[in-house]
Amino acid sequence: MTQAQAKPLEGLKLDGLELDVAIIGVGVGGLYALYAMRETLGLNVQAFDMASGVGGTWFWNRYPGCRVDTESTVYTYSFDLEMFQNWHWSERYARQSEVLDYMNAVADKHDLKRSINFNTKIERAAWDEAAKRWVLTTGKGETVRARYLIEAVGLLSSSYAPQFPDQEKFKGQVLVASKWPKDDPDLTGKRVAVVGTGSTGIQIITAIAAKVGHLHVLQRTPQWVVPLGIGPFPQDVRARIKQDPVAYRNWALNTGTVFGFVESTTSALAVSAEDRAARYEAAWAKGNGFSFMLETFADITVTAEANKTATDFIKSKLDAAVKDPKIAAMLTPTDYYARRPLAADGYYEVYNRPNVTLHDVKANKIERYTENGLVIGGQEIALDVVIMATGFDAVTGNYLKIETIGRGGAVLRDQWKDGPRTYGGMTMAGFPNFFMVFGPFSPFTSQPLVHEWQVNYFTDLIRAAETSGGIVDTDPAAVESWVKICQDGLAGTLFQVTDSWINGANIPGKPRTSMWYMGGMANYMVELNRIRDAGYAGFKIA
Ligand code: NA7
């Protein structure tokens, strides 16, 4: 890592600390929230993070091949216009180390680390009604009190890594992708198994296949994969951002998913077969999963018929790329193209390599570890390293890890037992002065610019509360109507019926439900601005 190591705050005694604002998490959302609270509002703020540095998901996910699959053009903050205009991204899809360097540069430029307590876990947050304060308890039992609490705990940062029986017997190494060691383990020549073929798994697989001795891919459910199109940062976009960064930011925010392209409004069924093939071919050549799914046609994730046109096309590419038809068949999904869209260059070609074996672990279960490896369908595979790329307890996971108690002793875990409940993805009823950055029922979009937008939105709310001396709470009826809008939105899509982390189906026992506003960022801003213009309807500043 090239960035300066973050030092914990020196001399700050946490126990008994009184703050205006406490922030949990200094990933993309929390770092900007810290800036907004301290620099824009001038409040007394401290942030807390379990990590020893800034970056959130980019701090922890250091696995081989880790990079954004959102264009770097929109994977950036815009609040510092000078940095937005001039930051040098070397690639169209920045590598993890580059994203982390960028976040450290932002934090250093704005001297944010002096307000961050690293290596500090917040285990409990309880509202003290008499004092009108949130009372936070750290992992060491210290107590910090704050008038406002902002949780920026990450959408995809609560690791999910199931343990297979007898793991303690295994003489090799078990690595969890989302908790990758800082001292990057050398996999050269090793016998490696990758469990999981989501975004993380396919990045690791394509990065290490040529390096390891033998790669065993343990696939439970095949997924549709398109190329990413790794290459240099596009100079035309750089010129556009440089010339008018505000216009570029506003353009990006006014799309559906804020991925740096405009979503199609054309049905896949409204064009001729030749036009359709040409559009898919161009999207394949360009790369990017979100672009392939959403920039080509409007209804791929909405109707089975449109979806099939996309999967037929990807299937034709898969069959052309994979030499062994049996392997090609194993790689072919049987469900809709309606999970989070995956993209990696040369993914299918990996399976032509003589040192790569694909295992179907749905048919042949991963049974247990032995000293030498894993037993799969009754057969032992000898291994040096097992990499768990098994995903996250997405969206709600990290909120529920903190024991959170609201007004009248309301327990967050009880309130969300059948699924989360929020207003605009930012607040909850009965949890006053509590704000989430990209909480459940936020728009289904890329992150940084949307985080900024939400933080700016509740910065205004906090300013209003500061001016009136009030407390910000949320009307339960407003929450219910927002949840209904979000549930209806997901119900109209194939995301609803396709198992994935998007609907909670990846975690055993998790309620399967919508966790998103599916109407797109442009509409989200219209809805939230309408609420603001109606005197913050649904929010209660009292
Ligand atoms: P994902 O997309 O949830 O993928 C997890 C993968 O792990 C997926 O292939 C799972 O198979 C597999 N998995 C999970 N549990 C098991 C067990 N017990 N045995 C075998 N295989 C298993 O997580 P990622 O980390 O790849 O990506 C998450 C997001 O992070 C990504 O979309 C980006 O936005 C960033 P399954 O499909 O459940 O059968």
Q: Residue 322 pLDDT more than 60?
A: yes
Which residues have a Cβ under 8 Å from the Cβ of 395 and sit 6 or more positions away? 155, 420, 440, 501, 504, 515
Strands 133-138 and 403-405, sheet pairing = unpaired
Whether residue 308 is contained in a domain is answered as no
The pair of structure tokens assigned to 261 is 């392209």
Q: What is the pLDDT of residues 323-347, one digit of tens each?
A: 999 999 999 999 999 999 999 999 9
Q: Measured in angstroms, how far is the CA atom of residue 401 from the centroid of ligand 1? A: 20
State the Cα–Cα distance between residues 390 and 476, nearest whole angstrom: 35
Q: Are 148 and 433 in contact (CB under 8 A)?
A: yes
Query: Which of 199, 335, 361 maximizes ligand 1 atoms within 8 Å of its Cβ, making it the mutation to test the pocket?
Result: 199
Q: Residue 1 pLDDT more than 50?
A: no
Whose CA is closest to 299, among 263, 334, 258, 274? 263
Average pLDDT, the chain: 96
What does the pLDDT average to over 242-264? 97
Q: What is the pLDDT of residues 398-436, one digit of tens each?
A: 999 999 999 999 999 999 999 999 999 999 999 999 999
Helices (H), 397-520: 397-401, 412-415, 448-468, 476-491
Given phi > 0 = left and psi -120 to 50 = alpha, else beta, which region is 321?
alpha
The pair of structure tokens assigned to 515 is 């966790």
What pLDDT, on a 0 to 100 scale, did the predictor assign at position 11? 65
Whether residue 456 is contained in a domain is answered as yes
What pLDDT, on a 0 to 100 scale, did the predictor assign at position 12? 82
The pair of structure tokens assigned to 34 is 């810290």
End-to-end CA distance of the chain: 47
Confidence of residue 492 (pLDDT cuts 50, 70, 90): confident
Whether residue 77 is contained in a domain is answered as no
What pLDDT, on a 0 to 100 scale, did the predictor assign at position 257? 97
What pLDDT, on a 0 to 100 scale, did the predictor assign at position 62? 97
Q: What is the pLDDT of residues 58-116, one digit of tens each?
A: 999 999 999 999 999 999 999 999 999 999 999 999 999 999 999 999 999 999 999 99
Whose CA is closest to 19, among 139, 154, 131? 131
Helices (H), 151-264: 199-208, 235-243, 245-253
Whether residue 514 is contained in a domain is answered as yes
Q: What is the pLDDT of residues 293-317, one digit of tens each?
A: 999 999 999 999 999 999 999 999 9
Q: Say how many domains are in the chain.
A: 1
Whether residue 190 is contained in a domain is answered as no
State the Cα–Cα distance between residues 387 and 365, nearest whole angstrom: 17
Query: For residue 459, what are the domain limits?
Result: 13-54+112-158+393-541
Q: Is the CB of 66 under 6 A from ligand 1?
A: no
The pair of structure tokens assigned to 301 is 């994730």
Q: Is the CB of 46 under 6 A from ligand 1?
A: no
Q: Is the CB of 317 under 6 A from ligand 1?
A: no
Whether residue 472 is contained in a domain is answered as yes
What does the pLDDT average to over 141-152? 98
Helices (H), 302-349: 304-321, 325-330
Q: What is the pLDDT of residues 182-215, one digit of tens each?
A: 999 999 999 999 999 999 999 999 999 999 999 9
Q: Residue 5 pLDDT more than 70?
A: no
Which residues have a Cβ under 8 Å from the Cβ of 421 and sit 6 or more positions away? 415, 428, 429, 440, 479, 480, 483
Q: Which atom of ligand 1 is nearest to the CA of 221?
A: 39
Which residues have a Cβ under 8 Å from the Cβ of 409 and sit 6 or more positions away? none
Q: Is the CB of 340 under 6 A from ligand 1?
A: yes
In this structure, which residue's CA is closest to atom 37 in ligand 1? 221
Q: What is the pLDDT of residues 268-288, one digit of tens each?
A: 999 999 999 999 999 999 999
Whose CA is closest to 327, among 437, 241, 217? 217
pTM of the model: 0.96
What pLDDT, on a 0 to 100 scale, did the predictor assign at position 390? 98
Whether residue 199 is contained in a domain is answered as no
CATH of residue 517: 3.50.50.60
What does the pLDDT average to over 345-363? 98
In this structure, which residue's CA is closest to atom 10 in ligand 1? 196
Q: Measured in angstroms, how far is the CA atom of residue 195 from the centroid of ligand 1? A: 8
Task: Identify each DSSP E strand in 214-371 by its residue range.
Answer: 214-219, 225-226, 342-343, 356-360, 366-369
Q: Measured in angstroms, how far is the CA atom of residue 71 from the centroid of ligand 1? A: 22
Q: Which atom of ligand 1 is nearest to the CA of 199?
A: 26
Whether residue 414 is contained in a domain is answered as yes
What pLDDT, on a 0 to 100 scale, did the predictor assign at position 6? 47
Q: Are 362 and 331 in contact (CB under 8 A)?
A: no
What does the pLDDT average to over 146-159? 96
